[in-house]
Structure formats: structure tokens, C-alpha cells
Structure 1
Amino acid sequence: MKTIIMYYTLGGTSKKEAERIASENENVVICEVQQKKKYNIFTAFILGCPKAMKRQVVEIKDVQYDLSDFDRIIFVAPIWAGFPVPAFNAMVNLLPTGKEVEIFMCSGGGEAPKSEEGTKKMIQDKNCKLIAYHNIKASK
């Protein structure tokens, strides 16, 4: 099974989680997703959190892989203000139909109960099969 791990990170936690997942799997490609306009800690709070809460997207740089070439797509992203970062929403928009999807959400609290069902629905609305949803408590 051909797998890609797509991750967005601001402070490095999601990158570490993506690398951990990759180390436990074979034949995995890792792809960092970057915003066209990068956030810093201040703009992430002022601009990013409200967008996350509204499930808005941000423009991301072109992804170097064709997702239709993969059987399974793993998303790794942080939670801001209880919701996935806007870059996660942009990643979901890239999903081709019929893929197996696994999600790893990283947050300081370890859970995002306000957004979990809506996040799962985003995957289902793309006619993809969500095989697992993981809340990861980020360590400092």
C-alpha cells in the first residue's frame, strides 16, 4: 500500500509526529505543507485561530506529489482554538475521492471535542474512508 504523510507545522510538533509515524511504516512519503503567507506566533493567534474556528482555508504552496498515486493519505496537523489549522482544511480540499485517510491532530490538551465530528465529516464529504482519527497530546 502506497502511503503519503502530509503535515503542517508551525512550531515543529506536527513535524516530529509525522516523522515518528513514518519511522513506524514502510514505503511512506513525507510531504510538508506550507502556507504561501507564513504565520509567526503572533499572526497564528490573531489571524489563524479565527480562521481555524470558522474552518476556513489558507493558500498553500503547490504540493509536489499527485495524491491520486497513493492508496492511503495520513494528515498530521495542529489544533488551534479547538479546531484544525486552516492549512489542514486546505489539505483536505486536495483529497481525491476513494482514498483511505488517517488523521493525527496535535494539541496541548490532547483532544479537540468541539471539532472532531466536523473534521471526520470533512473527510466523508470528499467520499474518502476515514480509517482512524487520533488526538495526540503534544509534549513541551
Structure 2
Amino acid sequence: MRICIIYHSETGNTRHVAQHIASVTVDSRLVEVTDRARHSALTRFLMQCKAARSEDKTEIEPSHLDAKDYDLLVFGSPVWAFKPTPAIHTIIDALANCEKKRAVAFVTCGGRPGGSEDVFRKWIEGRGMVFAGFKSVNQKDIENDAANAELVAFVMAAGPKLT
């Protein structure tokens, strides 16, 4: 099963989880999406939370991605204002050849994931993908072996069933 793990990370927590998934899954690719929007250090967090709350999009790198070679797409995002980030929203919207692909999502957060699952479901299904599940990873569990093993098992179980 070919897996593409697409994530956005600001503090490194989501990156750490995405890299862990990639390190224990065979035939996976990591794609980090970066937000190219310009904000001052003072207003960056406030502007990003406002954009996340409104489910806005932003300028990203890479600006597009082709999903044709993958069996499963894994999306990862921190939680901002109880929702996934504008960068991950933008890359989901920019995916090519993603229709009918299975997709799962995970978030990293310091508290609760809020409406992140519903938002991811809406974005994924809106692009014609099959929403195959959601997991939330609390920042205190980022280095927890049992939590990481559970997340990897969840990802592997979400893939297409081979007959």
C-alpha cells in the first residue's frame, strides 16, 4: 500500500507525528506543506487562528500535489481555534487525482480537537475522497509509544482492503 502523509506543522509536533508514521510504514512519502503568507511576529498567531476559524485558505508551498500514485492519503494538522489550519485546507483543495482515494486525518493539540473531525470530513469528502477516519493526538502523547502504535495501527487499518 502506497501512503502519502501530507502535513502542516508550526511548532514541530505534527511533523514529529507524521515522521513517526512514515518511519514505521513501508512505501510512504512525507509532504510538508508550509504557509507562505506574510505576517508580522506580533500578529501571526492571531491572524492564523482567525483564518482557521473561518476555514480560509492561504498561499502554500508546494502549491499543488498529484495523488494518483497513492492508495491512502494521510492529512495532519495542528488545531488552531478548534479547526485544522488554512495550509492543510489549501493543499486538500489543490490535490489532483484524489477522487475516490481513501483518506484519514489526524490533529495535534494541547487541549481538545474541537470541530476538526467534522471539518476534515467536509473537506475530504468535498474533494470526492473517502473519509476513512480521524484521530487526535494530545501534545502530551507525542512521545508516547503506545499512543504512536495506536495511531500507526489506525492508519494501516484505513487503507484499501486488498482482495
Tell me the TM-score normalized by structure 2.
Answer: 0.77
Q: Which runs of 5+ in 1 are unaligned?
A: none
In structure 2, distance between residues paired with 1:52 and 1:74: 19
- TM-score after normalising by structure 1: 0.88
Instruction: Tell me how far 1:44 sits from its aligned partner.
Output: 3.5
Aligned residues: 139
3-state DSSP of counterpart to 2:68: helix
Query: For 1:55 and 1:31, how far apart are their aligned partners in 2?
Result: 21
Aligned to 1:82, the other structure's residue is in SS state coil
Q: Which residue of 2 aligns with 1:101?
A: 103
Matched residue of 2:103: which SS?
strand
Give the drift of 1:114. Answer: 2.9
What is the CA–CA distance in structure 1 between the aligned matches of 2:92 and 2:36, rounded to whole Å?
Answer: 17
- Percent identity between matched residues is 25
Contact 1:10 1:39 in 2 (8 A): no
Tell me the distance in 1 between the aligned counterparts of 2:52 and 2:62.
Answer: 21
3-state SS in 2 of match to 1:77: strand
Deviation at 1:11, TM superposition (A): 0.7
CA RMSD, aligned part only?
2.0
In the TM superposition, residue 116 of structure 1 has moved relative to its aligned partner by: 2.4
Measured in 1, the distance between the counterparts of 2:40 and 2:70 equals: 32
User: Which blocks of at least 5 consecutive residues in structure 2 are unaligned?
Assistant: 143-163
Q: Is the 8 A contact 2:36 2:60 kept in 1?
A: yes
Which string of whole-angstrom CA distances, capped at 9 and with x for unpartnered residues, describes residues 14-68 of structure 1?
1100011112211001111112236676444221000000000111012585222
Show the counterpart of 1:122.
Answer: 123
**Aligned-pair distance for 1:121?**
1.7
Give the Å deviation of 1:87: 0.6
Query: Larger C-alpha radius of gyration, 1 or 2?
Result: 2
Aligned twin of 1:131: 132
